[in-house]
A and B are shown apart, each in its own frame.
Chain A
């Protein structure tokens, strides 16, 4: 009787696990999200959401385009180019780490690393490259890291996001973890990422138009006038969390990397247009 009960419990657990995995279908999630925005904003092509709130508000778009005539991130991109082109002490360069398409590689990040079993971001890859070549790592929110990633983003402009979720349960788990974070309400104001960028996208929050979730990852790093400098996507995550009075996580923490993995997969096939400027 005891072994029968045990078998029943194990069977139920297995069925539950299978059911959970069966429900995790990233491509179905992506298509459903695109469909939602197609219905909500029928006059705006879904791929236009790479411009964020400026795809939804003509007056703000005009101001933004004028600002882009003299882009405030330009000096950062120049700094990044200098850093990128400077060989390490051993004579090697970032190009040796980033593969034949370097520096236009941003469309492949973040990626799931089957060796570590974790999501790996572009920032981590830059630091891995530095470690492998005997150089000190950059702080993730440092000017140097922002410069290098801004330069890579600039060189990757026009490439279409191509995030792969390999046939590995750990990759799917990382995707699901990011998805859960995106839809979970948190903070004293009880907001989820989806509250603003799905449920209320297109509406005004005080003086700001709320952008769609699709395309949000395409333009990072970005110069934010509030920051008066170029900053990373994870810095923006931290700010968003703080705005709803939720304790922010660390930049490049596993949860934020999983969130980036989910959000970038949702924007698959969309064009990269970073770096950019935002209010």
Chain B
């Protein structure tokens, strides 16, 4: 991971952890405010928690693996960067959508590298 990408993921992770900490350990005043809105909290509690920073991290790791196998795709890293930026600026839904796409692309690149370890031989003219 280059310094800039690492910084992005670190920033995104920190922002997410900070937000999570606020939710879990917020001040009593905020808690009391939340308690007054019982229904939305219950709905939020039942929704699955998506860790966008984790998806970004996995996409980054998978992309780096594909690059190390000489099979990186050009559009993956820019998408990871955009997802990180979106997460940092609080656009969680957009960040999640981009992070999932980046993860899919990175995993596909690794799969391509694995398949091509042997598949290329069938293309050699005999």
The answer to whether B72 and A183 have CB atoms under 8 Å apart is no
Count chain A CB atoms within 10 A of each CB in B71, B75, B124 and give the residue with the most: B124
The answer to whether B126 and A246 have CB atoms under 8 Å apart is no
A-contact bits for B12-27, CB 8 A (1 contact / 0 none): 0000000000000000
Q: What residues of B have a CB within 8 angstroms of the CB of A180 in the complex?
A: 120
Nearest chain B CB to A70's CB is how many angstroms away? Answer: 36
Say yes or no for B67: interface residue by CB 8 A criterion: yes
Assuming the A-B contacts A186-B112, A188-B105, are A249 and B75 also in contact, with contact meaning beta carbons closer than 8 angstroms in the complex?
no
Interface size on B, residues (CB 8 A): 19
Interface size on A, residues (CB 8 A): 25
With both beta carbons as reference points, the residue of chain A lying nearest to B73 in the complex is identified as: A188
Complex alpha-carbon distance, A129 and B105, angstroms: 44
Of the 9-residue stretches A120-128, A191-199, A216-224, which lies at the interface with chain B? A191-199
The answer to whether B72 and A247 have CB atoms under 8 Å apart is yes
With both beta carbons as reference points, the residue of chain B lying nearest to A181 in the complex is identified as: B70
Assuming the A-B contacts A32-B125, A32-B126, A35-B125, are A185 and B119 also in contact, with contact meaning beta carbons closer than 8 angstroms in the complex?
yes
The answer to whether A247 and B126 have CB atoms under 8 Å apart is no
Say yes or no for B32: interface residue by CB 8 A criterion: no
Point out the residue from B74, B108, B121, B124 that lies within 8 Å of A246, measured CB to CB: B74
Say yes or no for A105: interface residue by CB 8 A criterion: no
Point out the residue from B70, B74, B125 that lies within 8 Å of A188, measured CB to CB: B74
Complex alpha-carbon distance, A82 and B116, angstroms: 46
Say yes or no for A16: interface residue by CB 8 A criterion: no
Nearest chain B CB to A204's CB is how many angstroms away? Answer: 21
Q: What residues of A have a CB within 8 angstroms of the CB of B124 in the complex?
A: 29, 32, 179, 183
Complex alpha-carbon distance, A185 and B120, angstroms: 7
Complex alpha-carbon distance, A36 and B124, angstroms: 11
The answer to whether B125 and A186 have CB atoms under 8 Å apart is no
The answer to whether B73 and A246 have CB atoms under 8 Å apart is yes
The answer to whether A242 and B125 have CB atoms under 8 Å apart is no
Q: What residues of A have a CB within 8 angstroms of the CB of B71 in the complex?
A: 186, 246-247
Nearest chain B CB to A174's CB is how many angstroms away? Answer: 15
27 pairs, CB–CB < 8 Å, chain A vs chain B = A29-B124, A29-B125, A32-B124, A32-B125, A32-B126, A35-B125, A36-B125, A180-B120, A183-B120, A183-B121, A184-B116, A184-B120, A185-B112, A185-B116, A186-B70, A187-B74, A188-B73, A188-B74, A188-B75, A192-B123, A194-B123, A199-B123, A242-B74, A246-B73, A247-B67, A249-B70, A255-B70
Q: Which residues of B contact A (CB under 8 A)?
A: 67, 70-75, 105, 108-109, 112, 116, 119-121, 123-126
Given contacts A188-B75, A199-B123, A245-B73, 4 further A-B contacts (CB under 8 A): A32-B124, A180-B120, A183-B121, A194-B123
Closest 5 CB pairs of A and B: A247-B72, A183-B120, A184-B116, A32-B125, A184-B120
